[in-house]
Amino acid sequence: MPNNKEKVCIIGAGPAGLSCAMYLEKKGYTDYKIYEKLNKVGGKCWSPKMKVKHNGVEEERSFETGAIMGAITYHAVSEMEEFGGYYHKGPDFKEGEPNMRREFRKLDGTIDHPFEPKVNFSFKKTFGLLKLKKQMKKLNHLMQTKYYGYDCYGHIGVAKGEYFGISKGVDGYCGATKENSFPNYVKGTNPNLKDLALPFSEFCKINGVEEVQRIWIAPFTSFGYGFFDEIPAALVMKYLDVTTALEFVNMKLWTWQDGTQQIYVHVNEKLKHPAILETEVVKVERPEGKVLVTTRGKDGKEKTEEFDKLIVTTPLDYFINYADATKEEKELFSKIIHERYCDYIATFDEGKSPVISGYMVENMVPERLGHAMVYYNRWQCLGNDCPATVYALANHTGTPDVDFDVVMKTMDEDMKKVGFPIKEKHYAQEVYYCPHVSSEDYQNGWYDRLEALQGTKNTYYAGEIISFGDMEDTCAASKDIVGRFF
Ligand SMILES: Cc1cc2nc3c(=O)[nH]c(=O)nc-3n(C[C@H](O)[C@H](O)[C@H](O)COP(=O)(O)OP(=O)(O)OC[C@H]3O[C@@H](n4cnc5c(N)ncnc54)[C@H](O)[C@@H]3O)c2cc1C
């Protein structure tokens, strides 16, 4: 029986940690602490304000270094919005709101129209688009039939041909109401689901839908989630399930006026115990029945406290370095791979900034590692003087990593070549991104071993690794973990 009098420690105040606290409160837990090493909440949802000129007048606007968008399938994020009282804009944007428009730009600077049959008409293009449409329909059908059960959050049982979790469908609240947030789970057997352990490119091949990668690549690879020859199909399809992928195609997306970080700032303000900032968890010891957590505050002093339970929402491959990790934890968590996603917000030479976001599809291949894959224009009303965020990946399995400094320089050169010379870079960063395991480890039941570990030594694992590295999957993972174990 859950005991909501227990004292719980949560490591990390990103979307995962704060949603864990919210769901704990919904279950009546009041004795919890969230430790955050930085001086801000939101983790990779970081929305700094910058001074810009609008109609000749200086004003402050929010920009994004991390998460930007959501979609109709963002159910757990909706619960966070409701809790914090801060809501998204879109999918239909009004004047003065951030926008989600985008174009496709070739490396010679010209604009491409890969999905518009009438622009630059050719029979080859028309034939290609017809093939793509047919394969999209086929994939949609396969996911509803052959791969039934694929679209619940998390990976429990998939390697064994089973599914278990909270359903992600459009009506995916699965019975959750304002009064009772904890939904019914879906559960079943489907041996075909084992195919989802394959790299996405292979999964498409065995199903005769290779063309669909043209659609999936922009919101996947350019968003830093890796390349299709290395990432298990389960990760691709759980994040970009058919409904969500079509929302991207049809530009039916959400974004937040003051940035995604504000979702979490608002939630944090409403929590009974807001996150304790600038306090890093540096040691975890778990003698029989207890959890001892040592933190280091901004004064550099260390303090050890006793808890009943621990929720780790931070990278598990780092957790084993500061915790009394068991043999199984060490073995399992050292298999985690993460992407090295790099970005910066740029200001451009006067009148030379992009006026719409752009995908550079030619750079979304491992051979072009470290090159700019996408740039994000947030404020249409600022015209060609709007700062933009530029993004690149620095790693791919089987290709040497690219150094951060080289990535930065390469992105500058790319942007100049396509017509957007960078004046200054702001907030340049490389992030630990999209933790996952290889197809082989997936196939060998890595996620089921993780599930079996939940609760041992009073420790629970949440965050990006559970399902996928986006806001919705991480918040839904918190709902799942708190829902089942607390
Ligand atoms: C460039 C970029 C674009 C993105 N775009 C989108 C998007 O459009 N839509 C979307 O849904 N998602 C997007 N994401 C992904 C999304 O931001 C992440 O999936 C989400 O933030 C993960 O939440 P988390 O809480 O699991 O981890 P994090 O956000 O990484 O938070 C973890 C927190 O733990 C803290 N921490 C770590 N170690 C310790 C320790 N030892 N002690 C105390 N605190 C610690 C960290 O400082 C951090 O604040 C994007 C991310 C990036 C970087």
Query: DSSP letter string over 242-304?
Result: HHHHHHHHTT--EE-TT-THHHHHHHHHHSSS--B-S-EEEEEE--TT-EEEEEE-TTS-EEE
Whether the pLDDT of residue 176 is over 60: the answer is no
Query: What's the pLDDT at 385?
Result: 95
The pLDDT assigned to 271 comes to: 98
Q: Whose CA is nearest to atom 35 of ligand 1?
A: 12
Report the chain's mean pLDDT, rounded to a whole number. Answer: 95
State the distance from the centre of ligand 1 to the C-alpha of 411, rounded, in angstroms: 23
Q: Which residues line ligand 1 (CB under 6 A)?
A: 11-17, 35-38, 43-45, 66-70, 223, 280-281, 313-314, 341, 343, 431, 433, 463-464, 469-472, 474
SS3 268: helix
70: its two tokens: 């959501």
Q: Which amino acid residue places its CA nearest to atom 28 of ligand 1?
A: 43
Average pLDDT over residues 263-276: 98
Name which residue leads in pLDDT, 242 or 130: 130
65-74, 245-254, 375-384 — which is least confidently predicted? Answer: 245-254
CA of 70 to the centre of ligand 1 (A): 15
Q: Which amino acid is at 78?
A: S
Q: Whose alpha carbon is nearest atom 6 of ligand 1?
A: 67
| 160 within 8 A of 444, measured Cβ to Cβ | no
pLDDT digits 0-9 by tens, 105-144? 999 999 999 999 999 999 999 999 999 999 999 999 999 9
Model confidence at 9, in pLDDT bands (50, 70, 90)?
A: very high
> Rounded to whole angstroms, how far apart are CA atoms 191 and 198?
14
Instruction: Give the pLDDT confidence score for residue 182 in this predicted structure.
Output: 73
Q: Which residues contact 102 (CB under 8 A, 6 or more apart)?
A: 251, 356, 357, 358, 359
Residue 474 Cα: closest atom of ligand 1: 26
Query: Phi/psi of residue 423, each to 5°?
Result: -90, -50
Pairing of strands 388-393, 374-377: antiparallel
Helix and strand element counts for the chain (H, E) = 14, 20
Position 180 scores a pLDDT of 63
Nearest to 42 by CA among 326, 256, 285: 256
Mean pLDDT over 11-35 rounds to 97
Give the distance (Å) from ligand 1 centre to CA of residue 37.
13
Q: Give residue 203 CA to ligand 1 midpoint distance, Å.
A: 28
Report pLDDT for 304.
98
Predicted local confidence at residue 242, as pLDDT: 84
Q: What is the pLDDT of residues 139-161, one digit of tens each?
A: 999 999 999 999 899 999 999 99
Residue 288 half-sphere exposure toward CB, CA atoms < 13 A:
0
pLDDT of residue 170: 53
pLDDT band at 169 (very low <50, low <70, confident <90, very high): low
Distances (CA, A) of 423 to 63, 351, 353, 429: 17, 11, 10, 17
Q: Which of 44, 73, 168, 241 to mutate to test the pocket of ligand 1 (most atoms within 8 A of CB)?
A: 44
d(C-alpha 94, C-alpha 40), whole Å: 30
Q: Cα angle at 327 between 324 and 331, to 5 degrees? A: 115
Q: What is the mean pLDDT of residues 222-244?
A: 95
What is the C-alpha separation between 486 and 478, in angstroms, rounded? 11
Q: Could you give the percent of the chain with pLDDT greater than 70?
A: 97
Give the distance (Å) from ligand 1 centre to CA of residue 14: 5
Please give the Cα distance from 465 to 57 (Å, whole number).
Answer: 44
pLDDT, position 175: 47
Dist. CA 373 → ligand 1 center (Å):
21
What's the 110 CA to ligand 1 centre distance in angstroms? 34
Residues 437-464 have pLDDT tens digits of: 999 999 999 999 999 999 999 999 999 9
Identify the three-state secondary structure at position 193: helix
Average the pLDDT over each of 4-13, 69-78, 320-329, 387-396 and give the range with the smallest value.
Answer: 69-78
pLDDT at 178 over 90: no
Contacts (Cβ under 8 Å, ≥6 apart) of 4: 27, 28, 29, 30, 486
Average pLDDT over residues 209-236: 97
CB 296 within 8 A of CB 283: no
Residue in 467, 461, 366, 369 with CA at minimum distance from that of residue 411: 369
**Identity (one letter) of the amino acid at 22?**
M
Question: Which protein residue's CA is at the shortest distance from atom 12 of ligand 1?
Answer: 470
pLDDT at 171 over 90: no
Tens of pLDDT, residues 320-359? 999 999 999 999 999 999 999 999 999 999 999 999 999 9
Centre of ligand 1 to C-alpha 259, Å, is 14
Nearest-Å Rg of the Cα atoms of the chain is 22
Separation between Cα atoms, residue 347 and residue 325, nearest integer Å: 45
Rounded to an integer, what distance in angstroms lies between the CA atom of residue 441 and that of residue 163? 18
